[in-house]
Amino acid sequence: MSNDSQPRAGREVRLAEVPGKAPTAANFALAEAPVAAPAAGQVLVRNTWMSVDPYMRERMNPEVTYLPQFRVGEVLDGPAVGEVIASEAPEVPVGATVRHWLGWREFAVVDATEVEQVDTAIAEPQDYLGPLGTTGLTAYVALTEIAPVRPGYVVFVPAAAGAVGSIAGQLARKFGAAKVIGSAGGPVKARKLREAFGFDAAVDYRAAPVAEQLDTVAPDGIDVYLDNVGGEHLEAAIDAMRVGGRIALVGAISGYNAGAPAAGPRNYFQLAGKEITMRGMLTGRHFHRFGEYIGKAAEWLADGSLHAESTVER
């Protein structure tokens, strides 16, 4: 089952140093490494797409996090899609398109049990890293299980022009939300929320305090908040939350480059007074729902009722 075109070496990206705040090119090193042939039960994948996600920034910090740290001098990892070019696993043939977790390199030798064959007849390969990948699944699980959206709810989504937020806003509408509000930085992104992703209202957090704007667009409060930002947005959402509201804690990107943990929300005790449910979520604990989600989302992508955008660097 092996392919005769076994590459001898491939490029990979390593962490050269821990970033001070915002990462720069100097924090990374492009190196060439030998490519091993797959052993029994393994496949060799030529990676064609990989995803760079916000959580990766936290893995570059020396402090212990909820995921293994990236180590200085070692190759990074993350979700990728590629073509199997050599196989020693009968269940994963040469030519299959697979998703796996050894991105940041041209070639990856992966255990067959750690790859997932994807159907390129129903979606493009890169879709399995975005709307059909972990970002889409995050939005889906957050709004169906962690902080479920019910018909008539008012939903607030920060970083709404991003990979998770843009999908979350559209899913909230599909789940019956009466009003979906998004937050983004700058007038161009705010306009995109309404025109490209179907949000009812947009908060430009650079234009004025989030709490003031949220009070204007949601004068009667909100029912669900998908938090992937933290900081000012979380505090504003707690202020605006109705009694019995729900918050899904997905990320805190406002603090990833801060250099020190952000102070907690000053209105924290409103969680008790309003009987708000705030629940954390790790997407990796919900991979068993991929089949359920992709079965729905692939159809939505195909009929145009789910819109996704990507920033591509080659």
Alpha helices (H) along the chain: 55-59, 134-141, 163-174, 187-195, 210-217, 231-240, 270-273, 290-303
Q: What is the pLDDT of residues 203-216, one digit of tens each?
A: 999 999 999 999 99
Quote the CA–CA distance of 181 and 168 in Å, as a whole number: 11
Q: What is the mean pLDDT of residues 263-291?
A: 92
What is the length of the chain? Answer: 314
pLDDT at 10 over 50: yes
Quote the CA–CA distance of 35 and 30 in Å, as a whole number: 15
CB 91, CB 111: distance < 8 Å: no
**Plot region of 109 (φ>0 → left; ψ -120 to 50 → alpha; else → beta):** beta
CB 46, CB 107: distance < 8 Å: yes
**Residue type at position 134:** T
Q: What is the mean pLDDT of residues 91-114?
A: 97
Quote the CA–CA distance of 228 and 158 in Å, as a whole number: 7
**pTM: predicted TM-score of the whole model, two decimal places:** 0.88
**pLDDT for the residue numbered 251:** 79
Quote the CA–CA distance of 23 and 205 in Å, as a whole number: 23
- Please list, in sequence order, all residues whose beta carbon lies within 8 angstroms of the beta carbon of residue 89, skipping any fewer than 6 positions away: 1, 38, 40, 41, 42, 43, 112
Quote the CA–CA distance of 131 and 309 in Å, as a whole number: 9
- Closest to 67 (Cα-Cα) out of 76, 75, 56: 56
CB 139, CB 163: distance < 8 Å: no
Q: What is the mean pLDDT of residues 250-277?
A: 79
* CA angle 217–219–225, rounded 5-degree value: 70
Q: What is the pLDDT of residues 275-286, one digit of tens each?
A: 999 999 999 899
Q: How high does pLDDT run on average in the chain?
A: 92
pLDDT band at 167 (very low <50, low <70, confident <90, very high): very high
pLDDT at 4 over 90: no
Extended beta strands in the chain, E state:
9-15, 28-34, 42-50, 80-87, 97-100, 107-111, 116-117, 154-157, 179-184, 201-204, 222-227, 241-249, 277-280
**pLDDT for the residue numbered 53:** 85
